[in-house]
Amino acid sequence: MLKEPTFVPVGTQATVKSLTPEDLKAIGVEIFFCNTYHLYLRPGDKAIKKFGGLHKFTRWDGQLITDSGGFQVFSLGKDHNGAGSLIKISEDGVEFRSHLDGALHFFTPEKSIQIQHNLGADNIIAFDECTPYPATKEYAQQALDRTHRWAVRSLIEHKKLNKKLNQDLKLYGVIQGSYYKDLRQQSAEFICSQDFDGIAIGGVSVGEPKDKMRQAVEWVLPYALKTGKPIHLLGVGEVDDLFDFFGQGITSMDCTLPTRMARGGQFLHRTGNAKFNLKNRFKDQIMHIKYKNDQTTLDKDCQCPTCQKYDKAYIHHLFKTQELLGYRLMSLHNIYFMTHTTQLIRNALKDGTFEKLKIDWLGRL
């Protein structure tokens, strides 16, 4: 499990897109996040189990965490360009229509946990519903109660399997509650009272304004901190989030953003001291015409493998020509930026210099 602030890149299909395990090691990655739903569909959890589990399959000897499929209840539930919802939720579980071939699959909490045990990540997550935003209070309450019942079922199945398979996977329970204070607190109280190994905060970064997200986390944090267990913030990871949440005791967060942005040509960087916290302060687009002849690196003083050798003009060219190397170099850089910044935060928290560091970066506390 993760004891210190850790940024967790996302490798949905058992790969952080475009990078090898050696790359990940080189840029300070300790753990990455795989997905139960996607790996269940392809290549299949049983296949992965036969290969000896995710670690052997991927040749990654660091830690791994799998998501339960709970986020897909949200993301596949949305209409994508009028394609219609691919899921149906009931008390027992969720009916998924595969986005690959339309076939029906049914996930229950037990099934999600079974799949996750087959996949064999070090850390796994209870099956939940990532509540869409906005949600009515009635719906949020109903979804929350169901998620709690699923949490208990997940926990029971997990303990059973850990014993049966002689494994010691760690299970995170997920707090939901949408954007209602009493529901969030109710959820925090319940999840924190159960025998989970870690606490995850979910249902955030689903389209809500950022101040609401911060508030929802703050409602819940006192309960989670009291348990002394690792606290994972699901799906969050803009640069300012690292400071806002690690600073308050969150121990890990995962996010697709650094890798997804990388593939879109956006690179993370830090330029000078911020007097105020401009949106987009930490990101820029390599394909902008102004970088066509720019022979400086993506970020001044960056120690990542990309910035050790390559300049903006070259990476600009790789993106304009859609060369695969561009995605790779940019992913290396962005993830390094996240892990390195997290490392700075770790150190500052130990030294007691965190507030100074945060003001230095964000221009605020």
- Distance spanning both ends of the chain, measured CA to CA: 28
- 281 sits in the region (left: phi over 0; alpha: psi -120 to 50; else beta) called alpha
**Residue 76 in the binding site for RNA (CB under 7 A):** yes
67 is catalytic: yes
Does 74 engage in binding with RNA (CB under 7 A)? yes
Q: What is the C-alpha separation between 26 and 312, in angstroms, rounded? A: 21
Per rule CB under 7 A, is residue 238 in the interface with RNA? Answer: yes
Question: Taking CB under 7 A as the criterion, which residues in 291-320 touch RNA?
Answer: 292, 320
- Which residue among 246, 327, 337, 361 contacts RNA (CB under 7 A)? 327
For the CA atoms of 89, 113, 153, 96, what is the dihedral angle to 10 degrees? 10
CA distances from 114 to 125, 171, 229, 232, 318 (A): 11, 12, 23, 21, 42
CB 96 within 8 Å of CB 76:
yes
Which of 135, 183, 188, 236 is in the footprint of RNA by CB under 7 A?
A: 236
Active-site residue flag, 299: no
Q: Binding RNA by CB under 7 A: which of 5, 237, 298, 310?
A: 237
Residues in the interface with RNA (CB under 7 A) total: 65
In this complex, which beta carbon is closest to RNA, that of residue 163 or of residue 279? 279
Diameter of the chain measured on Cα atoms: 61
Q: How far apart are CA 89 and CA 108, in angstroms?
A: 10
CB of 351 to RNA, least distance (A): 26
**Pattern 92-121, RNA, x by CB under 7 A:** -------x----------------------
* Per CB under 7 A, 287 contacts RNA: yes
- Sketch the per residue contact string, 154 through 193, with RNA: x for CB under 7 A, - otherwise: --------------------x-x-----------------
Burial of 160 (0-12, 13-18, 19+ CB in 10 A): middle
**Could you give the 3-state DSSP secondary structure of residue 253?**
strand
- Of 198, 174, 178, give the one whose Cα is nearest residue 188: 174
Q: Is 38 in the site for RNA (CB under 7 A)?
A: yes
Catalytic member of 67, 122, 240, 299: 67
Among 140, 199, 234, 304, binds RNA (CB under 7 A): 234
The reply on whether position 63 binds RNA by CB under 7 A is no
Task: Indicate whether 33 belongs to the interface with RNA (CB under 7 A).
Answer: yes
Q: What is the Cα Rg of the chain in Å? A: 20
What is the rounded CA–CA span in Å between residue 105 and residue 107?
A: 7
**Tokens 């790779």, located at residue:** 328
Residue with tokens 């940024």: 7
In angstroms, the CA 285 to CA 264 distance is 8
* Min dist. Cβ of residue 352 to RNA (A): 27
Q: Which residue from 20, 75, 185, 227 is in contact with RNA, where contact means CB under 7 A? A: 75
Residue 250 makes contact with RNA by CB under 7 A: no
Query: What is the distance, to the nearest Å, from the Cα of residue 140 to the centroid of all Cα atoms in its chain?
Result: 22
Site membership for RNA, residue 241 (CB under 7 A): yes
Question: Given the rule CB under 7 A, which residues bind RNA?
Answer: 10-12, 16-17, 33, 35, 38, 67-68, 70-72, 74-76, 78, 80-81, 83-84, 86, 99, 125, 128, 130, 174, 176, 200, 202-207, 210, 234-238, 241, 254-257, 259-261, 263-266, 279-280, 285, 287-290, 292, 320, 322, 324, 327
What is the set of active-site residues?
67, 254
